[in-house]
Amino acid sequence: MDQSIHSQSRITMMRTKFFTGLLLSIALLECCAKERVVVCARHQYRNGAWSKAEKLATTAASGKELNRASGTVHYNAASEYLVVMEDADDATIIEMALPRLAVGTIEGTDQRGIRWQLAMPPRCPL
């Protein structure tokens, strides 16, 4: 019985995080986005392998901007983030390890804990 409650709680939490990310991404893209950036990106699978690198259109935002747009304090105000709209109903928010994309590859982690490698084109593939 406890496992069922735990599973339901986890599903509810995942749905809440997803919809918060989705609403936040839409709000950023429509009203508050500072900078649109095309990056070369790949993510790490659970088995440790990396996905194929691809160019993605992202929106750069500070943690402070994300907190303001979402009405939460889920994001580190001192960090920089990239918001990726993968599909019409799926958003990924990547916290970058460095404050700005620069020369070379930068690592980041999204709201699901997935590691990403990011670079400015033409550094694609990574």
Q: What pLDDT is stored for residue 47 in this prediction?
A: 97
Q: Give per-residue pLDDT as tens, 33-68.
A: 568 888 999 999 999 999 999 999 998 999 998 888
pTM tops 0.75, yes or no:
no
Token pair, residue 22, equals 């989705």
Q: How far is CA 101 from CA 11, 59, 105, in A?
A: 34, 12, 8
Q: Give per-residue pLDDT as tens, 6-20.
A: 445 454 444 444 445
Q: Give per-residue pLDDT as tens, 66-124.
A: 888 888 898 999 999 999 877 777 789 999 987 666 667 889 999 999 999 999 887 77
77 Cβ neighbours under 8 A, 6+ residues apart: 62, 63, 64, 67
> Does 24 score more than 80 pLDDT?
no
Distance between CA 38 and CA 61 in Å, rounded?
14
